[in-house]
Structure 1
Amino acid sequence: MSAGALIIAMGSIVPVGPAEAALSRDPVAVIYQRDHALHTLNNGATDDDLLTRTEVLASSPWAFFRGTSPLYYRDLAELPASAYATAGGDVWITGDAHLENTGADRGADNVEQFALTDTDDAWRGSWTWELRREAVSIVLAGRRNGRSASQIATDVNTLVSEYAQWIGKFHGNDDEAGFRLTAGNTSDLTADLIAKSDDDKRADLLAKWTTLTGSTRTFKADPQLQTVSASTRSAVAAAVAAYRTTAQDPLSASEAVVKDVRRRLGAGAGSLGRFRWYALIEGDGAGTSDDRILELKQQVDPAPKPLAPGATTLSGGQRPALALRWLVDESDPLAGWASVGGVPVLVKEKSPFAEDLSTDDLTTSAIWDDSVRDIGRLLAAAHSRADKDIAGTGVAYSADAAIDNAITSVSGLQAETRGFATGYADQVTGDWQSYVTAKNNGVPLF
Structure 2
Amino acid sequence: MRRTTVGTLVVVTLLATAAPGEAAGLSRDPVSVVYDRDHALHVLNAGATDDELTVRTQALASSAWAFFRGTSPLYYRDLGELPPSAYATAGGDVWLTGDAHLENTGADRGADGEEQFAITDTDDAWRGSWTWELRREAVSIVLAGRAGGRGASRIATDVDTFVAEYAQWIAKFHGTGDEAGWRLTAGNTSDLVGDLIDAAAGDKRADLLAKWTTGGHFKADPRLQAVPDATRAQLAAAVAAYRTTAGEPLTASEAVVKDVRRRTGAGTGSLGRFRWYVLVEGDTTSAADDRILELKQEVDPAPKPLAPAATTLTGGQRPALALRRLANQSDPLAGWASVGSVPVLVKEKSPYAEDLEIGDLTTSGIWDDTVRDVARLLAAAHARADQDIPGTGLGYSADAAIDGAITSVSGLAAETRAFATSYADQVTRDWQAYVTAKTDGRALF
Alignment partner, residue 321 of structure 2: 322
* Structure 2 counterpart of 1:22, one-letter code: G
Q: Are 1:133 and 2:136 matched, yes or no?
A: yes
- For 1:164, what is the secondary structure of its paired residue? helix
- For 2:88, what is the secondary structure of its paired residue? coil
How far apart are the structure 1 equivalents of 2:101 and 2:89? 22
Cα distance change, pair 348–86 in 1 and its aligned pair in 2 (3 A): farther
1:134, distance to aligned residue in structure 2 (A): 0.2
Alignment partner, residue 388 of structure 2: 389
Alignment partner, residue 90 of structure 2: 87
- For 2:217, what is the secondary structure of its paired residue? strand
How far apart are the structure 2 equivalents of 1:15 and 1:247? 48
Q: Are 1:150 and 2:153 matched, yes or no?
A: yes
- For 1:121, what is the secondary structure of its paired residue? coil
How far apart are the structure 1 equivalents of 2:44 and 2:293? 24
Alignment partner, residue 284 of structure 1: 283
Alignment partner, residue 47 of structure 2: 44
Alignment partner, residue 337 of structure 2: 338
Alignment partner, residue 14 of structure 1: 14
* Structure 2 counterpart of 1:223, one-letter code: P
- For 1:186, what is the secondary structure of its paired residue? coil
Q: Is the 8 A contact 2:118 2:327 kept in 1?
A: yes
Alignment partner, residue 5 of structure 1: none
1:23, distance to aligned residue in structure 2 (A): 1.0
- For 1:247, what is the secondary structure of its paired residue? coil
* Structure 2 counterpart of 1:171, one-letter code: H
**TM-score when normalising by structure 2:** 0.96
Alignment partner, residue 244 of structure 1: 243
1:21, distance to aligned residue in structure 2 (A): 2.0
* Structure 1 counterpart of 2:143, one-letter code: L
Deviations 1:30-73 (A, max 9, x none): 00000000000000000000000000000000000000000000
Q: Are 1:169 and 2:172 matched, yes or no?
A: yes
- For 2:368, what is the secondary structure of its paired residue? helix
How far apart are the structure 1 equivalents of 2:325 and 2:146? 33
Alignment partner, residue 230 of structure 1: 229
1:107, distance to aligned residue in structure 2 (A): 0.2
Q: Is the 8 A contact 2:56 2:271 kept in 1?
A: yes
Cα distance change, pair 157–88 in 1 and its aligned pair in 2 (3 A): closer
Q: Is the 8 A contact 1:10 1:24 kept in 2?
A: no
- For 1:289, what is the secondary structure of its paired residue? helix
How far apart are the structure 2 equivalents of 1:10 and 1:400? 43
Cα distance change, pair 143–89 in 1 and its aligned pair in 2 (3 A): closer
Deviations 1:262-287 (A, max 9, x none): 00001000000000000000000011
How far apart are the structure 2 equivalents of 1:428 and 1:15? 15
How far apart are the structure 2 equivalents of 1:281 and 1:373? 38
Percent of residue pairs bearing the same amino acid type: 76
1:401, distance to aligned residue in structure 2 (A): 0.2
Superposed, 1:32-111 pairs within 5 Å as 32-87=35-90, 89-111=92-114
How far apart are the structure 1 equivalents of 2:91 and 2:134? 18
Q: Is the 8 A contact 1:139 1:422 kept in 2?
A: yes
Alignment partner, residue 261 of structure 2: 262
Q: Are 1:308 and 2:272 matched, yes or no?
A: no
* Structure 1 counterpart of 2:414, one-letter code: A
- For 1:438, what is the secondary structure of its paired residue? helix
- For 1:95, what is the secondary structure of its paired residue? coil
Q: Is the 8 A contact 1:167 1:380 kept in 2?
A: yes
Q: Give 5+ residue unaligned stretches, structure 1.
A: 1-8
1:24, distance to aligned residue in structure 2 (A): 1.5
1:304, distance to aligned residue in structure 2 (A): 0.1
Cα distance change, pair 88–359 in 1 and its aligned pair in 2 (3 A): closer
**TM-score when normalising by structure 1:** 0.96
- For 1:293, what is the secondary structure of its paired residue? strand
Q: Is the 8 A contact 1:239 1:338 kept in 2?
A: yes
For these two proteins, the number of residue pairs brought into alignment is: 434
Over aligned residue pairs, what C-alpha RMSD do you find?
A: 1.0
How far apart are the structure 1 equivalents of 2:158 and 2:90? 27
Q: Is the 8 A contact 2:91 2:129 kept in 1?
A: no
Q: Are 1:368 and 2:371 matched, yes or no?
A: no
Q: Are 1:114 and 2:117 matched, yes or no?
A: yes
1:87, distance to aligned residue in structure 2 (A): 3.0
How far apart are the structure 1 equivalents of 2:89 and 2:404? 8
How far apart are the structure 2 equivalents of 1:365 and 1:321? 35
Q: Is the 8 A contact 2:91 2:402 kept in 1?
A: no
How far apart are the structure 1 equivalents of 2:14 and 2:274? 34
Alignment partner, residue 354 of structure 2: 355
- For 2:124, what is the secondary structure of its paired residue? coil
1:18, distance to aligned residue in structure 2 (A): 2.4
Alignment partner, residue 408 of structure 1: 407
1:13, distance to aligned residue in structure 2 (A): 6.3
* Structure 2 counterpart of 1:94, one-letter code: T
Q: Is the 8 A contact 1:247 1:336 kept in 2?
A: yes
* Structure 2 counterpart of 1:276, one-letter code: R
How far apart are the structure 1 equivalents of 2:173 and 2:68? 31
How far apart are the structure 2 equivalents of 1:133 and 1:317? 23
Cα distance change, pair 15–283 in 1 and its aligned pair in 2 (3 A): farther
How far apart are the structure 1 equivalents of 2:376 and 2:326? 12
1:22, distance to aligned residue in structure 2 (A): 2.9
Alignment partner, residue 399 of structure 1: 398
1:223, distance to aligned residue in structure 2 (A): 0.8
